[in-house]
Amino acid sequence: MSDKKKVKIGIIGLGTVGSGVYKTLQDYSNFEIVKIGVKNINKPRNIEGLDNSILTDNPYDVVNSDADIVVELIGGVEPAFSLIKQAILNGKHIVTANKELLAKFGEELFNFAEEHNKVVLYEAAIAGGIPIIMPIKTILAGNKINHIEAILNGTTNYILTKMDVDGASYDDVLREAQALGYAETDPTGDVEGLDAAYKITTLSTLAFRKRIKFENVYSEGITKVRAEDMKMANELGYKIKLIAYADLNKDGKADVRVHPMLVSKDSTLAHIDYVKNAVSLKGHPVGHITLSGPGAGEFPTASSVVGDILAIAAELGKTDYLLPMMRCHHEETAEMVNMDDTYNKYYISLNAVNKMGAIGTIGKICEDNNISVACILQRGLKEDNTADIVVVTELCKEKDINNAISQFENNDFINKVDSLIRVQS
């Protein structure tokens, strides 16, 4: 292919993913990287043959360049959104891995792109190297997808796997994960469930063909999960995972959330360990499928970014309306199920005084709140004459379980509610 036909690429961000994209594109003779926006031009980089003359510390140099496609890899809402808008105004198509921007301003972004007849592709924003956006938009387009359970954050999955395998505490494993580079210095976005919430917002919007508003997505992280919960979950036939969950009920209402969950050892997700991610979908006519693989990292994520670049490049100059299937076609916003009105099974761990009537009291509080108990377990006594008691419920309402927890906390028989974790049903 002659130089004249080369597709010109501008990249904003040359961190882990940006480096992977740069290195991967070196294998393609029909692309020319014309500009790369970086924070610090003089920073040493482990990239062979990098031409420093195309680096700039002003990202607007990238969007104002002669690039055909601008790749945004800096994350966050601003300046990313302003840069992408300017790039679209300048006639560029966009590839992004920005899950926060898509979750919070996806509607505005896609409408803006459509007004200017430009495409925004974002395969890398949901599950790193796992292809999920394009399959939903194309090969699975004939399905009505109504249920998603996914592991979408490698950091939390690594921490929970290590807690499970080593029997270690959350704090100890987090420190180790930070030392190994699997967790950020400030891990809040990951461990509090925000990262996974951004991703499930966009994924469920796509799958359900209705807009899901990020502010309506419930998120709860893994910081309260204890080594004791891990051990007990195993004994009960479960693993604890941070699950991104989305369900579209028969009335067309959406229940979208992120929280720890006891997942049956019989399910695929129970065996997705360390930094791996997985997405399980249920739909008609396909049934139940699971895609799993690396959810982050230099080359897995670059794989998705470069796939998007190739999809756009293949259409340039051939049509005035690129990739119609990949564009946004949402016409309605989903009505959401309030978290208080959801039905779940629950694992509750309590510490109670060793007195006659303690177990009966727990059962009575459950009964008074319309909660059926599947099992109650007590293993011996502690030195302080208290007992750890585990209750697993049948399906019941979130509002009822919260009322029961309040009553447990104010009951003379019960010292403390240590854990409340939902159970896969």
- Catalytic sites, residue numbers: 199
Q: Are 21 and 12 in contact (CB under 8 A)?
A: no
Hey, what are 202's tokens? 């966009």
Hey, what are 291's tokens? 């895609």
Instruction: For residue 65, give the DSSP letter.
Output: S
HEC sequence for 279-343: EEEEEECCEEEEEEEECCCHHHHHHHHHHHHHHHHCCCCCCCCCCHHHCCCCCCECCECCHHHCE
Amino acid at 374: A
User: CA torsion, points 360, 363, 367, 371, in degrees to nearest 10?
Assistant: 180
Q: Are 116 and 89 in contact (CB under 8 A)?
A: yes
Hey, what are 194's tokens? 């925000």
Provide Rg for the chain, Cα atoms.
24
- Residue 12: phi and psi, rounded to 5, are -110, 110
Alpha helices in 328-397 (DSSP H): 358-368
Please give the Cα distance from 350 to 387 (Å, whole number).
8
Please give the Cα distance from 268 to 112 (Å, whole number).
39
Please give the Cα distance from 121 to 174 (Å, whole number).
33
Q: Are 270 and 238 in contact (CB under 8 A)?
A: yes
Q: Which residue has the tokens 């998007």?
A: 308
Question: Residue 375, by phi and psi: left (phi above 0), alpha (psi -120 to 50) or beta?
Answer: beta
